[in-house]
Structure 1
């Protein structure tokens, strides 16, 4: 069965809208796990707009399922200007301290609302390779956030990645349109290339209860999906426990 990892960024975003610790990221993680989720994903950014470094440390100390930390490996340390919020120590320092089961490297910047493209390894491959080496020495599985570009996926293998996570924004955008099948075929081809290169395959971004079933049953060898924004919205309507179960049903 394809594993379901719940991204808790939106829970942290709600908390950060007030000067409070409610809702608790850790308690939501525990509830997701109790309902059957296979893992927890967070994406700490230097501006700490949602998940903060302290959240990562707390989750690392409590989780007994897969912990996946994603983010830009080149993100530097930054000073916090908010009361009660500790400084951001840099993405790689968070990973060094927490040693998650998986680290998903993403080429995002603070100016982006969310991750919206994969790595260009022709440009960044030489910088990424030593980071992947360090993560592997820490015992962390490495996944690279990638577009469904077969040539780029082959480069991901060359720089040492264990897995790739396909950026599924274009699939979600075209789901239900006349372009759906053509776009989906790009992801099917990408999954075949990953299998040829012996790369594990994850996927994430804008997957939801409407489009996940088709994607999962079309793309072979899908090991894991991470879902956050849609999950949080659906949980308001369905309740958190029922929402986890609904997503698991899509993956069976």
Structure 2
């Protein structure tokens, strides 16, 4: 079974456009879990434009109260503490999620748009990975479908990779002739990861149109979906959107 982890960043973005706590992130997270989602994902950034540190602290006990549900915190491990943002590692050590997905996004990026270059960042990442694993937190690295880089992820001690699916989603939306090549590269990357003993997650711009094919990726364990699911929720309601993605992942 492929797990659905609902990314709550877009709901937090809506909340942050007004004072107060409306919509309530914890209430919406609970609604997703009640509907059957197997996890929640958040990506707190230093500028706090969507999920904030206090949200991470509030969502951790929510997930802990559901059997079989996982909490996944994403972020750049090298972003410096600023204001109320204590830095990713400090926040994760406080919240103790089931999984921490390390992502190489800079502070000025609109959204994550590439995987790690471990030939450049590996030495800096290794102590972060070691510290997380020592705290019994599963470590996933946000990666492009590059076999050499995935081998380095295993050498650094990562437990899983999360394949960056942005180019796949773009090619599917454009009906690009590159789609077959891109999907084949993702399949090869997933197979390589499995051979190395790495788990395989995926995320970025996956939706109800491109997910039916992507779910056939070898060994896919989890997808993190936020933007498209939030947009679909505007049309069909949040619970129905979660149901739709669960059905899609199960092949129904």
| TM-score bin, normalised by smaller chain | over 0.9
Unaligned runs of 5+ in 1: 80-86
Query: Structure 2 residue aligned with 1:251, among 245, 249, 252?
Result: 249
Gaps of 5+ in 2: none
**Offset at 1:25?**
0.5
Partner of 2:141: 144
Please name the residue that 2:25 is paired with: 25
Equivalent residue number for residue 200 of structure 2: 201
Q: SS where residue 215 of structure 2 aligns? A: helix
CA distance in 2 between partners of 1:39 and 1:61 (Å): 13
For 1:106 and 1:59, locate their aligned partners in 2 and report how far apart those are by CA, in whole Å.
Answer: 20
Partner of 1:71: 75
Mapping for residues 205-244 of structure 1, pairs under 5 Å: 205-217=204-216, 219-244=217-242
1:113-192 alignment to 2 at 5 Å? Answer: 113-175=110-172, 176-192=175-191
Q: Which runs of 4+ in 1 moved over 3 A?
A: none
Residues 84-140 of structure 1, C-alpha deviations (whole Å, 9 max, x = no match): xxx111111100100100000000011100000000000001111111000011110
Equivalent residues of 2:206, 2:228 under 8 A apart: yes
Q: Is residue 34 of structure 2 the alignment partner of residue 37 of structure 1?
A: no
Correspondence for 2:96: 99
User: What TM-score, normalized by structure 1, do the two folds share?
Assistant: 0.96
Matching residue of 2:10: 10
Do the aligned partners of 2:79 and 2:107 also contact (CA within 8 Å) in 1? no
TM-score by length of 2: 0.96
Contact 2:140 2:161 in 1 (8 A): yes
Superposed CA RMSD in Å reads 0.7
State how far apart, in whole Å, the 1-side matches of 2:122 and 2:225 are: 27
Aligned counterpart, 1:54: 54
- 1:150 & 1:62 partners in 2: Cα distance? 37
Q: How many angstroms does 1:77 deviate by?
A: 1.0
SS in 2 for 1:203: strand
